[in-house]
Amino acid sequence: MEAYLDNSATTRVDAQVQELMKKLMDVDFGNPSSRHQKGVVAEGYIKEARQKIAATLKVDPKELIITSGGTESNNMALIGTALAAKRKGNHIITTAVEHPSVKATASFLEEQGFRITFLSVDSRGQISLEDLKEALTPDTILVSIMYVNNEIGTIQPVEEAAKLVHATVPGAVFHVDAIQAYGKVMIRPKQQGIDLLSVSSHKFHGPKGAGFLYCSSKVNLHPIIFGGGQQSGMRSGTENVPGAAGMGLAAQLAYQNFEQKKAHLNELRRYFLEGIHKLDDVSINGWDETADGEECIERRAPHIVSVSFTGVRSEVLLNALSDRGIYVSSGSACSSNHPALSSTLQAIGLDKKLIEGTLRFSFCENTTKEELDQALKALQELLPMLRRYTRR
């Protein structure tokens, strides 16, 4: 039996989504910009997808820009806001634990003359609202803070941060990378003060190559892709109809029976943590309810567990688990082609040797306790052997 525990990297596409996408590639394959019937039908799928997604967020479908995924959504949010607001100021605030698609984009903007502030985090990976308040200036045009950290699962106080930003610098835009949060956390952008929200389809059983950016009607965003003027000129290019439609259906399914799914993920996490704590020389990164108490549950995502294993390198353990059909991650899948010490784990003050021995386990609503048992049994058998080999 395989145990797929890398759902933060990507998820299996839902069977209903697959079926819908196949129809759109085989039967209703028209270009939504075409004026004939095939085009009209394709355009209808795009509209329906927007409506389904908008319903999960309680926003206007017109406030959604369909993109190729989370990286493009984050780039569009940061660069688009910076270009639109450069006459108002040049200061951007983000955090030390952002995904590479935000961090690298911020670095690019810094090269273009914008001033970037990276907020530090505590040992659990959370920012300080006091630090944010001190960083805000009249020149601040954008604040970008991720909702759920993709490596350790820590939830940032986005609603409180948004309130602080809008009260201190009313003209500033507040962006949230919700790529690991969407489908796992109930999100209401208008109630929470979120102006821009990035989401990627393949994190919640939709297809790869599809995502969206929620852009409040109050926000002035400069397009970064030009061409035929699709999506009201905000994102030119022929729409990926199968991807958009598949994402819309996956979004709808993600929030069906939401509380039941969340409870299942919380139970899986507790179960797995209990097993992990029975192993020797391991530590949990981020919040750990078995040590910190149940009050921390709302401060962490229900589907991510980051574990550091003393005396063994993560890539060695990852490959040994993979040989047994157990699939996990040593960090962000989007940066695995350029291996380096995790900036998130460095930011929380983790020792270098522990960083080098850290794995991420991530679940979905289809994950079973049998899969977790398989992983725990393998860890129990592999760790003593690999540690002896490492000492040599």
Residues marked as catalytic:
334
Beta-bridge mates of residue 66: 212
- Are 195 and 58 in contact by the 8 Å Cβ rule? The answer is no
Residue in 93, 115, 220 with CA at minimum distance from that of residue 164: 93
Beta-bridge mates of residue 285: 306
Query: Tokens in use for 1?
Result: 């039996």
Length of the chain: 392
Query: Tokens in use for 171?
Result: 């003209």
Beta-bridge mates of residue 327: 4
**Helix then strand then coil, % of the chain, to nearest 5:** 45, 15, 40
Count the alpha carbons within 13 Å of 124 in the hemisphere toward its beta carbon: 18
Query: Tokens in use for 218?
Result: 């109050």
